[in-house]
Structure 1
């Protein structure tokens, strides 16, 4: 398959285990609820940690982008010590550093009841605290995900994602809302290519059951 940078690489992923992925076909329809009336933002949802530890106090911010909102970190099963961050204009994996605002994301669920994937799962946007940018769908399969300015009052399906059902140990696939066959993928993060590392690029890739495609979105805590 083609590399996201224009080079040809043979892309092998992690182990093939028994957990089935979310998608069942190619491009799915996006389901919209009725479009009349005013849609208030849903109340903040408090999530319980899935890592066995009891949460103490959510990390909250009062900045212009997120308001008084929880921030989240996102990491994959291939290495929970690496989490999503922005570096040099790209979404990558970086060594976990809670003091780095580029590793904090807001989970914006403003349109969750209006836009759902073809399995009926609610959508959300992921907005980086450090840059104010939303994570945008890749231009094509195997290409890097993109970043774009987040406009909270503008409905843009290209920045909306959904989480699959549990694929094991509470890890889930993160898929395009309008094409659940394409998932967050830590590029060449499988064991055959040496695994994920600091600087690994995030692309959209078809489901291969690899640990580099299984993610957790968890709140940051003090």
Structure 2
């Protein structure tokens, strides 16, 4: 099963890949670059500091996983992913924040929950999300550009 990942700041856009980068693009269900596998084979063993289970997002078109960048304000990376191997270093492991009643939640780095997936520059004051908005990580500020929904494709 594949999933779409939407940002609350502009739900009609989906997490995608383009030119080796992870970006947001207008939803196109036929575009395999917008289809993601949610790999959770390590979820029972690897959790974040709050006890939430880890998972990886692996792109259907590229076979690469969303990897952690070097720090806040940096784009996430597409990195090779070995489905048969175990990447215990945490560089491709993410967690979803606790249940708060909202379908859109923070997606956090498993090994540093202070850094959250972020549509960089995707706030209204900066022009909002548009085709090609780069996805990175940022410290939690509660903005809609940091809230995500992972939903299955039919």
TM range (shorter): over 0.9
The reply on whether 1:203 has 2:128 as its aligned counterpart is no
The 5 Å alignment of 1:13-162 reads 70-152=1-83, 153-156=85-88, 157-162=90-95
- 8 Å CA contact 1:167, 1:173 repeated in 2: no
Q: How far did residue 154 of structure 1 move?
A: 2.5
Q: How far did residue 169 of structure 1 move?
A: 2.5
Q: How far did residue 168 of structure 1 move?
A: 5.2
Three-state SS of the structure 2 residue aligned to 1:116 is: coil
Give the Cα–Cα distance (whole angstroms) in 2 for the partners of residues 154 and 166 of structure 1: 28
Moved more, 73-82 or 163-172: 163-172
Q: Deviations over 1:97-142 (max 9, x none)?
A: 0100000000000000010000000000000000000000011111
- 8 Å CA contact 1:117, 1:162 repeated in 2: yes
Map of 1:217 onto structure 2: 150
Give the Cα–Cα distance (whole angstroms) in 2 for the partners of residues 170 and 80 of structure 1: 12
Give the Cα–Cα distance (whole angstroms) in 1 for the partners of residues 8 and 132 of structure 2: 16
Q: Deviations over 1:43-94 (max 9, x none)?
A: xxxxxxxxxxxxxxxxxxxxxxxxxxx1000011101100000000000000
Give the Cα–Cα distance (whole angstroms) in 2 for the partners of residues 201 and 110 of structure 1: 28
Q: Deviations over 1:191-216 (max 9, x none)?
A: 10111111000011000111000000
Once superposed, which parts of structure 1, at least 4 consecutive aligned residues long, lie more than 2 Å away?
A: 166-169
Give the Cα–Cα distance (whole angstroms) in 1 for the partners of residues 28 and 151 of structure 2: 14
More strand by share: 2
TM-score (norm 1): 0.67
Q: Unmatched 5+ residue regions in structure 1?
A: 1-69
